[in-house]
Chains A and B, each alone.
Chain A
Amino acid sequence: MDYVLKTNAITKKYKDFKALDGLTMNVPKGSIYGFVGRNGAGKTTLIRTVCGLQPPTDGTFELYGVKNTDSAISDTRKRMGAVVETPSIYPYLTAKQNLEIQHEIMGIPSKKNTDALLELVGLKDTGKKKAKDFSLGMRQRLGIAVALCGSPDFLVLDEPINGLDPQGIIEVRELILKLNREKNITILISSHILDELSKIATHYGFINDGHIVREMSAEELENECRKCVRMKVTDTSVLARILDGMGIEYKIIDNESADVFASPNITKLAFKLWEEKCEILYVSEHDESLESFFISLVGGGSNE
């Protein structure tokens, strides 16, 4: 698998506080990578580090295979765009002028691109209205348009839906999906609004206390969160044999537990297990949302 971004044990210290603690993650090419973590987990610090705003204290990262210590990283960064926390725009300029300035920063002609970008983010009709008079959603979309100057193939969005109203959230979500599907842009998106993230992400990285707790694809997550019956038995090999015989899908968790992805006839199953001298110790319905999966990964403690 090709990776756009690979980090290798990145650490970032502010005096005595470790914001990132040996974080290792991999963002696959073409994915929408949902970066999940509670406030203060280190999401924004990692994004700032990748964007070159803060040098790592220790560890390295690779952007398109180019190490952050390599002098070629400056050129490689031209392939990425980013909106870190708040949109980086000049409030006293119009949307069009903001894009023209960003094109100037990148040293590329802006005439054709500017109108196309404004249309893409739905800001074509803003005319002479200054960015300071935009709504939060419009500013967010302008920030994304600025990040899209120079046609990047990697877009980093830090909490892009924070503070948006439902309509704004839908607009930004559709824009992200459009960019990924139509322009094949790899997107790293950090958020703690898990429900929203679950609608778009193809891959997930769960971060807690400055390190990745788990990385997985949306498919794997879906499997983890599937509705099932969790059974605790004395011998899972017997359970597996019987479930195979009954044609029921299952997943062995450990020596004693298994998830059964159907609603089996419990009496029949219990009877067959009893015949094989296997006891049922515990049965419960297991239905995890992304939220509860996240809590089970990082623990439910304070986020202070």
Chain B
Amino acid sequence: MNNLLKVNFSLMKYRFDVKCCMVMSVVLGIIYPVLGKLNDNLTWFDMFEMGIMMIMLLSAIGGLFISRDYTNNTIRNKLTVGHKRNDIYLANQITDILIFCLPVIIYIITSVICNICFIGTKTLDISAFTKNVTVYLFAHIATSAITTFVAMTVKSNAGGVLTLILMYPTMIFSVLSQEFGESKWLEIVNDIIPLSQLAVLMMPDKEPAVHILYSVLITIVFILGGMAIFRRADLK
């Protein structure tokens, strides 16, 4: 699997969209605090507002990174020379986690530096902030697992962007909870969906452990399910 990971990292270096994503993370990490400072309402939790937009963009980039392997038929090169299907799936999953998490980490670091410069650390509740960052990262990892699953199952460019398309209908649950208040089932659904988790991070998360647990479960279920399907899949 090390060879497959090395190949994916090499390809990440060659990919324009991945490089753009890294640059965009730095730019967003600067622009958002600057705008907040100009409006005089910057807080330490404002940076999480970008979460939904970033996760949508990253799911498209992560999905397309994997699905290109199918559209270019380069996945054959890995199978023909004897790489095991589980290794191929896991290497793609790890790469997708990096595609999701690296820009997020860069964005957070840049935002933190800007926030320190603009509002200092007096208003910072480190414990709540750390919990939010952890929930934020795990939600991204869970989404990367869903993205990898969809891309490896659909096996075309459509699979690369399907997760992004599916995010719109799932957003309805967080809208519903805002419109009609929290019913029990709506609360559970919103706790499970990574996108809905991100929507509540503009304030200190009240249930970080529950959110992290759901993200971990989603990650495990989708990785194991994806590997099981890929092991039996007919490839062209």
| Residues of A near any B CB (own CB < 8 A) | 14, 48, 51-55, 73-78, 80-82, 84-93, 97, 100-102, 104-107, 146-147, 150
Q: A52-B82, A81-B81 are in contact. List 5 more A-B contacts (CB 8 A).
A: A53-B236, A80-B80, A82-B80, A90-B14, A92-B14
- Residue B78 at the A interface, CB < 8 A? yes
| Partner pick for B72 among A82, A88, A104, A105, CB 8 A cutoff | A88
Query: Are the C-beta atoms of A48 and B72 separated by less than 8 Å?
Result: no
Q: A88-B72, A105-B7 are in contact. Are A74 and B77 (CB under 8 A)?
A: no
Query: Are the C-beta atoms of B78 and A105 separated by less than 8 Å?
Result: yes
Residues of B within 8 A of A85 (CB): 73, 236
Residues of B within 8 A of A89 (CB): 72, 74
- Residue B19 at the A interface, CB < 8 A? no
Query: Are the C-beta atoms of B79 and A51 separated by less than 8 Å?
Result: yes
Q: A51-B80, A104-B3 are in contact. Are A84 and B14 (CB under 8 A)?
A: no
Separation of A91 and B71 alpha carbons in the complex (Å): 10
Separation of A93 and B79 alpha carbons in the complex (Å): 20
Can you name 5 A-B residue pairings with CB atoms under 8 Å? A80-B81, A85-B236, A105-B78, A105-B83, A106-B3
- Residue B206 at the A interface, CB < 8 A? no
Separation of A55 and B233 alpha carbons in the complex (Å): 8
Tell me the residues in window 198-236 of chain B with beta carbons closer than 8 Å to chain A beta carbons: 232, 234-236
Query: Are the C-beta atoms of A88 and B76 separated by less than 8 Å?
Result: yes
Residues of B within 8 A of A105 (CB): 3-4, 7, 77-78, 81, 83
Tell me the residues in window 44-86 of chain B with beta carbons closer than 8 Å to chain A beta carbons: 72-84
- Residue in chain A with minimal CB distance to B231: A55
Query: Are the C-beta atoms of A86 and B3 separated by less than 8 Å?
Result: no
**Interface hub of A77, A88, A93, A146 (most chain B Cβ within 10 A):** A88
Query: Are the C-beta atoms of A102 and B77 separated by less than 8 Å?
Result: yes
Say how far A98's CB is from chain B's closest CB, in angstroms.
9
Query: Are the C-beta atoms of B3 and A53 separated by less than 8 Å?
Result: no
Query: Are the C-beta atoms of A54 and B235 separated by less than 8 Å?
Result: yes
Residues of B within 8 A of A104 (CB): 3, 6-7, 10
- Residue B11 at the A interface, CB < 8 A? yes
Query: Are the C-beta atoms of B234 and A54 separated by less than 8 Å?
Result: yes
Residues of B within 8 A of A54 (CB): 234-235
Separation of A84 and B79 alpha carbons in the complex (Å): 12
Say how far A204's CB is from chain B's closest CB, in angstroms.
24
Query: Are the C-beta atoms of B83 and A82 separated by less than 8 Å?
Result: no
Say how far B195's CB is from chain A's closest CB, in angstroms.
31
| Partner pick for B234 among A53, A73, A88, CB 8 A cutoff | A53
Tell me the residues in window 6-46 of chain B with beta carbons closer than 8 Å to chain A beta carbons: 6-7, 10-11, 14-16
Query: Are the C-beta atoms of A88 and B14 separated by less than 8 Å?
Result: no
Say how far B95's CB is from chain A's closest CB, in angstroms.
14
- Residue in chain A with minimal CB distance to B85: A52
| Partner pick for B77 among A14, A48, A91, A146, CB 8 A cutoff | A146
- Residue in chain B with minimal CB distance to A108: B3
Say how far B229's CB is from chain A's closest CB, in angstroms.
13
Separation of A100 and B11 alpha carbons in the complex (Å): 11
Residues of A within 8 A of B236 (CB): 48, 53, 84-85
Separation of A98 and B198 alpha carbons in the complex (Å): 39
Separation of A91 and B15 alpha carbons in the complex (Å): 11
Say how far B91's CB is from chain A's closest CB, in angstroms.
10
Q: A53-B236, A104-B10 are in contact. Are A74 and B82 (CB under 8 A)?
A: yes
- Residue in chain A with minimal CB distance to B9: A104
Separation of A80 and B80 alpha carbons in the complex (Å): 7
Query: Are the C-beta atoms of A52 and B3 separated by less than 8 Å?
Result: no
